[in-house]
């Protein structure tokens, strides 16, 4: 039995469920999948048992204890974890049952600390060093490491003898549909993902107050969850103060398979990230999804985006005027060839099917 555990992602997370778990099941493995989320999604099947504990009813400690109790009574052959908070549980299983551990690293955690911590520089550096020390201890028990972006290093995987397996969050080919530019909503933009200050959402909203002077009917759809309640309040106040209520709609997170229809109907997909330690490292999954869905793409000129072979309109991170100018010029010059070029790159290169064999080979090697 393979056990997949997450404590911070939605049950239908595109990487964990739609890509990795479905690939594992294709190889004939039986999967028990634990999640910790308020979202109620039933994904039980003949080859998967999904057990979700609601964040409304349990603390993280409760969740970990409940999962541990379950696995001690029914030990897995492989445990595949998606957050470092799960490492103590993985170590217990390794010590007691010699369970194989796959450590799936979505983020560069030192960069996250550097971006989000409000501590002084010296205390922040101490916190980062302590985090790396803990991860290095955990790696003594790890069998394989998956990373979601080439920039993810954390405590230095290569230096510790690992050859991390790069599984970038490319989309599945099944989501690629023939593009009809004329069917898209006029002067429409879309952003989907986490809604937080470091992602440049405030700057994006401010830019719209400039864009409306030249594109009066512009409309921005934002799909996702707010990282904090205070930021949600701040954004709604900003929208109101700029008289943009009729130009912006905030939508809650929706199931992964449902977002594609919304991506396809918008002309522009936007990545407004500010420049910070995290955005200099992590690759935004939405880049590939915009490419697959046939959106024109406007993005901050950050290394995780500029390294790919795609036709993108870049602007200076955090520069509201530069972003506004990019939006206006893109609406004034929709180039279908650019959209088709990006979609072809997904078909030929940046698709999940390219990653499947890496997962299959890894499981074949350690599931003995």
pLDDT attached to residue 185: 94
**Mean of the pLDDT values across residues 188-216?**
96
pLDDT band with cut points at 50, 70 and 90 for residue 253: confident
Percentage with pLDDT > 90 across the chain: 88
HEC string for the chain: CEEEECCCCCCCCHHHHHHHHHHHHHCCCCEEEEEECCCCCCCCECCEEEEEECCCCCCHHHHHHHHHHHHHHCCCCEEEECCHHHHHHHHHHHHHHCCEEEEEECCCHHHHHHHHCCCCHHHHHHHHHHHHHHHHHHHCCCCEEEECCCCCCCCCCHHHCCCCEECCCCCCHHHCCCCCHHHCCCCEEEEECCECHHHCHHHHHHHHHHHCCCCCCCEEEEECCECCHHHHHHHHHHHHHCCCCCCEEEECCCCHHHHHHHHHHCCEEEECCCCCCCCCCCCCHHHHHHHHHCCEEEEECCHHHHCCCCCCEEECCCCHHHHHHHHHHHHCCCCHHHHHHHHHHHHHCCCCHHHHHHHHHHHHHHCC
Q: Report pLDDT digits (tens) over 292-305.
A: 999 999 999 999 99
**Mean of the pLDDT values across residues 40-57?**
91
pLDDT attached to residue 274: 97
pLDDT attached to residue 41: 83
Q: What is the pTM of this model?
A: 0.91
**Mean of the pLDDT values across residues 5-22?**
93
pLDDT band with cut points at 50, 70 and 90 for residue 345: very high
Domains of the chain: 2-168+352-366 (3.40.50.2000), 173-348 (3.40.50.2000)
**Mean of the pLDDT values across residues 280-285?**
93
**Mean of the pLDDT values across residues 231-259?**
93
**Mean of the pLDDT values across residues 240-265?**
92
pLDDT band with cut points at 50, 70 and 90 for residue 252: confident
Residue 368 pLDDT greater than 80, yes or no: no
Q: Report pLDDT digits (tens) over 69-126.
A: 999 999 999 999 999 999 999 999 999 999 999 999 999 999 999 999 888 999 999 9
pLDDT band with cut points at 50, 70 and 90 for residue 136: very high
State the average pLDDT for the chain. 94
pLDDT attached to residue 48: 96
Percentage with pLDDT > 70 across the chain: 100
């Amino acid at each position: 039995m393979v056990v997949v555990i997450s404590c911070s992602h939605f049950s239908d997370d595109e990487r964990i469920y739609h890509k990795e778990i479905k690939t594992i099941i294709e190889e004939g493995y039986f999967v028990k999948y634990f999640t910790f989320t308020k979202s109620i999604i039933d994904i039980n099947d003949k080859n998967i048992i999904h057990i979700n504990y609601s964040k409304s009813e349990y603390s993280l400690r409760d969740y970990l204890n409940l999962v541990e109790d379950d696995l001690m009574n029914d030990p897995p052959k492989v445990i595949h974890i998606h957050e470092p908070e799960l490492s103590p549980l993985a170590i217990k299983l390794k010590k007691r049952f010699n369970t194989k551990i796959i450590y799936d690293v979505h983020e560069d955690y030192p960069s996250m600390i550097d971006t989000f911590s409000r501590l002084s520089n010296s205390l922040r550096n101490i916190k980062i060093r302590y985090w790396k020390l803990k991860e290095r201890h955990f790696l003594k028990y790890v069998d394989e490491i998956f990373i979601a972006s080439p920039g993810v290093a954390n405590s230095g995987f290569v230096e510790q003898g690992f050859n991390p397996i790069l599984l970038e969050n490319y989309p599945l080919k099944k989501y690629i549909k023939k593009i009809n530019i004329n069917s898209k909503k006029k002067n429409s933009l879309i952003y989907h993902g986490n809604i937080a200050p470091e992602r440049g959402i405030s700057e994006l909203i401010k830019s719209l107050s400039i864009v409306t002077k030249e594109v009066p009917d512009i409309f921005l759809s934002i799909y996702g969850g707010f990282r904090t309640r205070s930021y949600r309040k701040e954004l709604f106040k900003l929208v109101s103060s700029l008289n943009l209520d009729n130009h912006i709609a905030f939508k809650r997170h929706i199931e992964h398979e449902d977002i594609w229809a919304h991506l396809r109907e918008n002309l522009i997909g936007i990545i407004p990230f500010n420049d910070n330690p995290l955005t200099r490292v992590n690759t935004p999954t939405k880049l590939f999804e915009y490419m697959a869905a046939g959106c024109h793409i406007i993005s901050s000129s950050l290394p995780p985006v500029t390294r790919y072979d795609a036709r993108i309109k870049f602007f200076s991170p955090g520069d509201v005027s530069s972003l506004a100018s990019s939006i206006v010029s893109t609406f004034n010059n929709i180039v279908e060839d650019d959209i088709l070029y990006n979609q072809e790159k997904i078909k030929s290169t940046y698709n999940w099917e390219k990653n499947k064999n890496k997962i299959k080979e890894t499981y074949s090697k350690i599931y003995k």
